[in-house]
């Protein structure tokens, strides 16, 4: 059946302007069949009230916790949460139990993920067996099973020579190495930025631990030619190093999270683990550097680092609670409301960083709106403003410091491969 959506607005990929257009797609082939006006023939017509029809969003960093930590999240709840945030593709990190270090685990996630019938999931497999930082996993088998990239996210690979071996092998197989940059000899048992840590009375986590590891891995990526992707960049020094690496022609990409673009350590005035995230919220100078890096493309894409934990775990105080914040459902509304509306970031930059850019760098079939392309849409309502209420989330996680913030730009509907995978107001099935 050919379905035509009238009354929506599209973002022009060259000019960045919004324009009214009708989009027609086939729900069997899952392809866009025409972009034009209301005269395009169709079997069924739906009419919007000026909502944006954007390409489905792509998030290269989520934690779905399944297998092993299903009290925090399941494939079902995590992919439903992603769909609710307008995402049609997510890449999930391997710090599950067991960790994604073998082909059968990659296949299990892919198969069960497909059965959920929501957002597509692309497993990122471990660099080292059990994420222990020692023996390398079998990259070829992991790739063959469907792993999109390799990472020990949650931890950094501490041993330089081992990382060099990993990059050499990954380059041979044309697989990206995705790094959680943390030199544990510097970060130690730190939990917050040193300034906030002083206020709360907990150990500080040195900002330098991030850039120190990025520096090492840039040098190794230059030597090996591997595609190095840097997760959740948070400091001014890291942005400067990545800018330098790009100027040298190193094959490097980087992501920044909504929380590192919007929050700083100064907000942490009491012992509430809702603020605890890795890397930590940093200083204002770091936040501004991330913003600048995001605007000039040094930080290529937005990734949420969606990291759900249970209410119980997050009630244990900053010292004892796990690191992480949920992000899938609030990413676009927060960035739209607090960066696009005030004129800090152009809408076109935000949208490309959540669509075309990750698609291009990770070879995902999506991220653009053109005839013959996949019918993946985030239909976003810019008129409805509401307060962020974690109790209404689709994710099992409630851990967000943005509770109570007002935002607009909520996803009204998400369409993936020509199928509706989310309609605002639909019931949660968790
Ligand atoms: N970011 C976090 O604070 N936590 C992540 C791990 C990670 O991405 O480093 C998690 O798995 O909970
Ligand atoms: Zn990480």
CATH number of the domain at 77, please: 3.20.20.140
Whether the CA torsion 104, 178, 330, 280 is positive or negative: it is positive
Instruction: Give 192 Cα–ligand 2 centroid separation in angstroms.
Output: 15
Domain boundary among 323, 344, 362: 362
Is 229 one of the annotated binding-site residues? no
Domain boundary among 336, 362, 388: 362
Q: Pick from 60, 61, 63, 397 the residue to mutate for probing ligand 1's pocket: most ligand atoms within 8 Å of its CB.
A: 63
Say what the pLDDT of residue 427 is: 73
Say what the pLDDT of residue 13 is: 83
Is 189 one of the annotated binding-site residues? no
**CA–CA gap between residue 327 and residue 341 (Å, rounded):** 20
H or E segment and range at residue 102: none
Is 299 inside a domain boundary? Answer: yes
Ligand 1 atom nearest 323 alpha carbon:
3
Question: Shortest CA distance to 375 belongs to which of 417, 414, 413, 412?
Answer: 417
Say what the pLDDT of residue 48 is: 98
In this structure, which ligand is nearest to the CA of 326?
1
Ligand 1 atom nearest 182 alpha carbon:
9
391 and 257 belong to one structural domain: no
The pLDDT of residue 430 is above 60? no
The pLDDT of residue 148 is above 80? yes
> Active-site positions?
305
pTM of the model: 0.98
Domain boundary among 312, 340, 362: 362
The count of domains in the chain is 2
Strands (DSSP E) found in 37-159: 44-47, 52-55, 57-62, 87-92, 120-125, 149-151
Is 277 inside a domain boundary? Answer: yes
Say what the pLDDT of residue 179 is: 98
DSSP of 381-426, one letter per residue?
EEEEEEE--GGG-SSS----TTTT-EEEEEEEEEEETTEEEEETTP
Residue-number span of the structural domain to which 300 is assigned: 57-362
Rounded to two decimals, the ipTM of the complex is 0.98
Question: Shortest CA distance to 62 belongs to which of 72, 54, 71?
Answer: 72
**CA–CA gap between residue 413 and residue 14 (Å, rounded):** 25
336 and 377 belong to one structural domain: no
Using pLDDT thresholds of 50, 70 and 90, give the confidence band for residue 351.
very high
CATH code of 398's domain: 2.30.40.10
Q: Pick from 91, 95, 257, 281 the residue to mutate for probing ligand 1's pocket: most ligand atoms within 8 Å of its CB.
A: 95
Instruction: Give 221 Cα–ligand 1 centroid separation in angstroms.
Output: 23
Instruction: List pocket residues of ligand 1, CB cut-off 6 Å.
Output: 63, 95, 153-154, 180, 277-278, 305, 307, 322-324
25 and 156 belong to one structural domain: no
**Model pLDDT for residues 219-275, shown as the tens digit of each residue:** 999 999 999 999 999 999 999 999 999 999 999 999 999 999 999 999 999 999 999
Residue with tokens 């509306």: 341
pLDDT mean across residues, the chain: 97
Using pLDDT thresholds of 50, 70 and 90, give the confidence band for residue 429.
low
135 and 265 belong to one structural domain: yes
Is 64 one of the annotated binding-site residues? yes
Is 80 inside a domain boundary? Answer: yes
- β-pair type (52-55, 377-387): antiparallel
Instruction: Give 278 Cα–ligand 2 centroid separation in angstroms.
Output: 6
């Amino acid at each position: 059946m050919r379905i035509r959506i009238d009354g929506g607005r599209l973002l022009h990929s060259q000019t960045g302007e919004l324009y009214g257009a009708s989009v027609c797609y086939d729900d069997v082939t899952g392809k866009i069949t025409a972009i034009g006006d209301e005269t395009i023939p169709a079997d069924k017509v739906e009419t919007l009230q000026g909502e944006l029809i954007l390409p489905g969003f792509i998030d290269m960093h989520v934690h779905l916790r399944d297998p092993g930590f299903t009290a925090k999240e399941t494939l079902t709840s995590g992919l439903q949460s992603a769909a609710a945030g307008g995402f049609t593709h997510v890449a999930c990190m391997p710090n599950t139990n067991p960790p994604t270090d073998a082909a059968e685990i990659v296949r299990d996630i892919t198969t069960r993920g497909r059965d959920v019938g929501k957002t597509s999931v692309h497993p990122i497999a471990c660099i080292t067996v059990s994420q222990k930082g020692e023996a390398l996993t079998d990259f070829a088998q992991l790739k063959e099973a469907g792993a999109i990239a390799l990472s020990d996210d949650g931890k950094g690979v501490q041993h330089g020579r081992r990382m060099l071996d990993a990059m050499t092998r990954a380059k041979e197989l044309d697989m990206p190495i995705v790094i959680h940059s943390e030199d544990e000899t510097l970060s130690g048992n730190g939990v917050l930025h040193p300034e906030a840590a002083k206020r709360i009375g907990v150990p500080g986590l040195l900002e330098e631990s991030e850039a120190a590891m990025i520096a090492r891995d840039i040098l190794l990526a230059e030597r090996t030619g591997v595609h190095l992707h840097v997760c959740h960049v948070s400091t001014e020094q890291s942005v400067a190093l990545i800018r330098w690496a790009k100027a040298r022609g190193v094959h490097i990409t980087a992501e920044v999270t909504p929380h590192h673009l919007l929050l700083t350590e100064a907000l942490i005035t009491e012992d509430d683990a809702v603020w605890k995230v890795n890397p930590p919220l940093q200083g204002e100078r770091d936040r501004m550097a991330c913003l600048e890096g995001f605007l000039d493309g040094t930080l290529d894409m937005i990734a949420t680092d969606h990291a759900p934990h249970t209410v119980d775990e997050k009630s244990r105080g900053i010292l004892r609670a796990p690191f992480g914040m949920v992000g899938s459902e609030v990413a676009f509304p927060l960035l739209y409301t607090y960066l696009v509306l005030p004129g800090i970031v152009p809408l076109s930059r935000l949208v490309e960083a959540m669509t075309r850019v990750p698609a291009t760098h990770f070879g995902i079939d999506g991220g653009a709106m053109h005839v013959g392309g996949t019918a993946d849409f985030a239909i976003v309502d810019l008129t409805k403003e509401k307060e962020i209420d974690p109790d209404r989330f689709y994710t099992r996680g409630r851990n967000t410091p943005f509770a109570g913030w007002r935002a607009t730009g909520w996803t009204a509907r998400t369409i993936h491969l020509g199928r509706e995978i989310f309609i605002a107001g639909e019931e949660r099935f968790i």
